[in-house]
Chains A and B, each alone.
Chain A
Amino acid sequence: MTLSGIKSVFSKAIPFLIIPLIVISGAFVFRDRSYSYIIMATALFTLILFACGFEQKKTGTRRLVLCAAFIAIASIGRVICSPLPGVNPVTAITVLAAVYLGSEAGFAVGAFSALTSNLFAGMGVWTPFQMFAWGLIGTFAGLLSKQLMGSRVKMCVYSFFAGIVYSAIMDIWTVIWAYNSFNLKAYLAAITTALPYTAIYAVSNAVFAFLLAKPFSEKLGRIKIKYGV
């Protein structure tokens, strides 16, 4: 078997064998906080798998540049909005990018907006989780693009729930990280304390999606027709 053959078999085996192996064996090493480790490792590996998918899929140059532009504007939006707790346009822009450019693009915009904006807002343990959560929101929006496309209301509803899911993911992570087990009481407490934040976040997502949908779809539509993106 040639080297490249080994390489390809190896790369195919990674998702099915090696990753679960690392996750499970790691749980024995970091046994004090095995649950924290498992969710962290899972988030990271999912992220890596999605990123590998994005790397391998052929993206046209124009699409790639558009994704970068979306990432830039989402990051600026996030940094500008940072004084207002819970308000930022990242989810809305991710959803729009996903709907019009596909789910890989949605993943890329979501995940990398988190990374880029954290370059300015500050890196931390939360970075991979934010990347994971936003990347997921983008991926699903891309999968649902047929349903969401052309309907402002549906996009708003999706963004609204995406906001709730985002907060839920972040809370689950916080609780598991703090208690190394799923402490329901603490989780409910976390959700309740974060409720105003989540509410603002979900509503602002919907508002951003509502306001941005029209200009985005019109202007992207023109580019798609004129330059065949």
Chain B
Amino acid sequence: MALIEIKNLSFSYPGCSETIKNINLSVEQGDFVALFGPTGSGKTTLLRLLKPELSPLGETEGSILFGGKEIKELSQAESSAIGFVQQSTEHQTVTDKVWHEIAFGMENLNYSQGLMSRRMAEVSAYFGIDGIFESKTSEISGGQKQLVALASIAALDPEVIILDEPTSQLDPISANEFLNALKKLNSESGVTIIISEHRLENVIPLCSKICAIDGGEIKAYGPVRETAEKLLKDSKMLPYLPGSARLYSLLGGEGPCPLSVTEGRTYLKKNTLPLFTEEKASDDKAEKEPAVEFKKVYFRYDKDSDDVLRGTDITAYKNEILCILGANGSGKTTMLCCAAGLLTPYSGKIRLFGKDIKKYKNSELYGGVISYLPQNPEILFMKNTLREEMEESGIDFKDIPFDLSYAADIHPYDLSGGERQMAAIAKVMASKPEILLLDEPTKGLDPKAKRDICEVLKKLKEDGITIIAVTHDVEFAALCADRAAMFFRGAVTCTDKPREFFSENIYYTTSISKITRDYAEGIITDNDLAKYIKPEDRSR
């Protein structure tokens, strides 16, 4: 008998059409299932229906059986066998101390002191969080918070853990760490995992099954390779699959579909590569006008703390998109804040269009020179609908380079991640700045929204705007940057065109580049791939 059995499940929110349409799904004990699909496809709704306490209000048809029992009829103790981890690292943390956060679930289920002590010791050691056991939850990183959330649920001895985009707010390193912890739970302790994710690159190697969902319907479900092969023809689902699968699909694909970088490389080795290398596009040597210049900038937050920026030297030229990549805590965001005039370095010069930033008056600086969009765009919104929000900033829907008018009457917090990011960009662009600073503009977005943001940025660039984006997202940088820079310990280590930048990087690069780098130079994105494959090979 399957652990979770979903039969003919349909669901609709009050006054809306069906979000979930007639879904049939069964998950076996010990499965590791990844759920993916566009934003708004009903992933979150489906996952929440699997956890009785979080079931959304609305009309449900069909049945969900957990261990043979209707899910709505589970007792509190039985329901604790289903764990649920949400997306937001910040807000799903309930208490102020790590130990209390881990104990919280057990307290709710009335565990005894002795049992709690034992479980806490176990999970802290298991997840390697004993070092932060007595820390405040406000002082640990997002990745650690997510691990603590997982530990808190693992302490309840769950049979299945459901995770709703748990890594979307994390940087790639912490995301991988988190996924590894999940894998450990799954393979060592037999916990069933159901996870929804936007990017399968790192999840697929851990999975036993994948499930594609779109428009509230299941497109494909089953063992990884089989299902992935089914989806290769689906242009809407293809971008979610790993780079190797996309490459395989472009090549017309024979034999089993490769799903990891290693498999992709083996695949290329076996099949003669129909790629050809074009001569590099010539460098335009034309003198460019600098828009933002950092000259040996040093910054620290406190007199006694360490330098965060250690001699940062970087120039963003007028009318380009500069992407700055780098690890967490390397000082990227600090650099952006310095460029926005929000922080003042203690040494070095920052010039905007050749003029020292200190010589700008605030009204001048923020009234048409520079704009800054922080990581979480929600802190820009305060009105009840997007329309009021736009009116408040004095923007007409017609004036923005993308369409948002369809969402005019939606509350800003109800917008999808991509829409919210667009709206935020529109808001910060209201002052018609010449420089736009973006912090992690693609955080938590699905591939389509990422591409949309990319298009928007390119359009803005065409209008003569200089864009500096700080990001962890190599795929995004490869797709939209004119130049990419690597930030390390408070300084820029290298700046290059994305093509050179990513093809010379070995580890910090796109998966397509990792797969193709031995065979062809400068292929870093899907577009490059499409361009570089001989037409006759494509039809093969």
Contacts and interface: CB of A to CB of B under 8 A. Distances in A.
A218 B384 CA distance: 8
Interface string A207-229: 00000000100100010000010
A222 B383 CA distance: 11
Contacts of B411: 222
Nearest to A221: B384
Interface in B370-404: 382, 384
Interface string A184-228: 000000000000000000000000000000010010001000001
A222 B384 contact: yes
B57 A215 contact: no
Contacts of B57: 228
Interface string B179-190: 000000000000
A228 B57 CA distance: 10
Contacts, number: 5
A28 B352 CA distance: 77
Contacts of B382: 215
Nearest to B383: A218
Chain A binding surface, main DSSP class = helix
A228 B58 CA distance: 13
Contacts of B384: 218, 222
A63 to B, nearest CB: 15
A215 B384 CA distance: 10
Contacts of A228: 57
Contacts of A222: 384, 411
Interface in B382-440: 382, 384, 411
Interface in A69-124: none
A80 to B, nearest CB: 17
A218 B385 CA distance: 12
Contacts of A218: 384
Nearest to B57: A228
Interface string B44-86: 0000000000000100000000000000000000000000000
A225 to B, nearest CB: 11
B55 to A, nearest CB: 13
Nearest to A215: B382
A218 B388 CA distance: 13
A53 to B, nearest CB: 23
Interface string A13-35: 00000000000000000000000
A215 B57 CA distance: 26
Contacts of A215: 382
B84 to A, nearest CB: 14
A215 B411 CA distance: 14
B79 to A, nearest CB: 15
A211 to B, nearest CB: 13
A19 to B, nearest CB: 30
A13 to B, nearest CB: 28
B53 to A, nearest CB: 9
Interface string B488-519: 00000000000000000000000000000000
Nearest to B94: A65
A211 B57 CA distance: 34
Interface string A148-171: 000000000000000000000000
A117 to B, nearest CB: 15
A139 to B, nearest CB: 27
B109 to A, nearest CB: 15
Nearest to A218: B384
Nearest to B413: A222
A134 to B, nearest CB: 22
A218 B412 CA distance: 14
Nearest to B91: A65
A229 to B, nearest CB: 12
B20 to A, nearest CB: 19
A170 to B, nearest CB: 30
A161 B382 CA distance: 30
A215 B382 CA distance: 9
Nearest to B56: A227
A218 B381 CA distance: 14
A219 to B, nearest CB: 8
A171 to B, nearest CB: 35
B293 to A, nearest CB: 36
A216 to B, nearest CB: 12
A190 B411 CA distance: 50
A215 B381 CA distance: 12
A222 B411 CA distance: 9
Interface string A29-46: 000000000000000000
A215 B388 CA distance: 14
A215 B383 CA distance: 9
A218 B413 CA distance: 14
A120 to B, nearest CB: 13
A10 B384 CA distance: 51
Nearest to B384: A218
Nearest to B411: A222
A226 to B, nearest CB: 8
A222 B57 CA distance: 16
A223 B57 CA distance: 14
Interface in B288-331: none
A12 B439 CA distance: 59
B96 to A, nearest CB: 11
A218 B57 CA distance: 22
Interface string B328-354: 000000000000000000000000000
A183 B351 CA distance: 68
Nearest to A68: B94
Nearest to A228: B57
A228 B13 CA distance: 14
A75 to B, nearest CB: 13
Nearest to B414: A226
A218 B411 CA distance: 12
Interface string B241-283: 0000000000000000000000000000000000000000000
B391 to A, nearest CB: 16
B24 to A, nearest CB: 30
**Sorted from nearest, which 5 A-B pairs have the closest CB atoms?**
A218-B384, A222-B411, A222-B384, A228-B57, A215-B382
5 contacts: A215-B382, A218-B384, A222-B384, A222-B411, A228-B57
Interface of B: 57, 382, 384, 411
